[in-house]
């Protein structure tokens, strides 16, 4: 069994090369008995499970082929696709995970999450996250017309880009105390969100940051059950 972790693909019809890179990844791992974990921001924006488009149909078809071959797909939400739900994942037998998920591979305990909740120094974002992720508000949003949700998503992206211009990298990065807390019950923390691919050694534990998908490559994580914590390394996926 191969455990594969990816994050921050930001797929959209505007970037067909990223879509092709993801489809090629599915092909490469299709015959390896793979558990694929997508740690948020799979899509650049997700306006609802009722959204359909030809470019998305191609992805769904390949995902169906991937799971039909005996592989599994797990998804947990990011800050760009937090309204993506089980209805979409049902199409290809995918499974929605909670915002934080613990799993054990071999003798190592892992915690996986998108990573935005760890950026506690970004107070304005955390306030926004708490409001927008409220289940009651999400339920109301899902009942609004697609056109309204599309405009809303565009507005959120624009506001986010503008606000980031006035924030330092330190504010937008993870908080050390939040990381220490996340690692209390596990040996390895895996997340994305910050777009700063790296492996950080924290005593006898590790924090692994997955990379965002660029024009020709991404940093992903492949784990085999027999691996020890010292052998965990990011892998450059080129497309």
Reported as a single tens digit per residue, the pLDDT across 175-230 is 999 999 999 999 999 999 999 999 999 999 999 999 999 999 999 999 999 999 99
123-132 and 146-164 helices cross at what angle (nearest 10)?
170
Sheet holding 108-113, edge to edge: 100-105, 108-113, 188-191, 205-209, 198-202
Q: Which pLDDT tens digit goes with each residue over 157-187?
A: 766 666 666 567 677 899 999 999 999 999 9
Distance CA 140, CA 83 (A): 11
- Residue among 116, 120, 109, 111 at smallest CA distance from 182: 111
What does pTM read for this prediction?
A: 0.93
User: Structure tokens of 26?
Assistant: 């599915």
CB 34 within 8 A of CB 68: no
Distance CA 120, CA 47 (A): 26
Q: Which pLDDT tens digit goes with each residue over 5-64?
A: 999 999 999 999 999 999 999 999 999 999 999 999 999 999 899 999 999 999 999 999
Going from N- to C-terminal start, the domains of the chain cover: 2-115+187-238
- Residue among 112, 120, 118, 117 at smallest CA distance from 188: 112
Distance CA 209, CA 40 (A): 13
Reading phi first (left if > 0) and then psi (alpha if -120 to 50, else beta), residue 8 is in left
CB 101 within 8 A of CB 40: no
CB 132 within 8 A of CB 78: no
Q: Which pLDDT tens digit goes with each residue over 89-120?
A: 999 999 999 999 999 999 999 999 999 999 99
Distance CA 48, CA 40 (A): 15
Tell me which of 1.25.40.10, 3.60.21.10, 3.40.50.2300, 3.10.129.10 is the CATH number of domain 2-115+187-238. Answer: 3.60.21.10
């Amino acid at each position: 069994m191969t455990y594969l972790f990816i994050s921050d693909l930001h797929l959209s019809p505007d970037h067909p090369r990223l879509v092709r890179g993801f489809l090629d990844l599915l092909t490469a791992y299709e015959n390896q008995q793979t558990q694929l974990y997508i740690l948020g921001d799979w899509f650049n924006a997700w306006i609802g499970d009722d959204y359909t488009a030809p470019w998305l149909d191609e992805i769904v078809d390949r995902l169906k082929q991937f799971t039909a071959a005996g592989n599994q797909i797990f998804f947990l939400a990011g800050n760009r696709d937090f309204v993506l739900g089980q209805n979409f994942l049902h199409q290809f037998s995918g499974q929605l995970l909670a915002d934080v998920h613990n799993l054990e591979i071999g003798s190592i305990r892992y915690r996986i999450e998108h990573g935005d909740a760890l950026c506690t120094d970004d107070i304005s974002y955390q306030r926004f996250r708490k409001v927008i992720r409220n289940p009651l508000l999400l339920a109301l949003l899902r009942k609004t017309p697609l056109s309204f949700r599309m405009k809303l998503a565009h507005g959120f992206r624009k506001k986010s880009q503008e606000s980031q211009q006035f924030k330092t990298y330190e504010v937008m990065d993870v908080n050390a105390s939040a990381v220490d807390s996340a690692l209390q019950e596990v040996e390895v923390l895996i997340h994305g969100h910050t777009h700063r691919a790296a492996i950080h050694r924290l005593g006898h534990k590790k924090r692994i940051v997955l990379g965002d998908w660029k024009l020709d490559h991404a940093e992903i994580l492949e784990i085999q059950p027999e691996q020890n914590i010292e052998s965990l390394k990011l892998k450059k996926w080129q497309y």
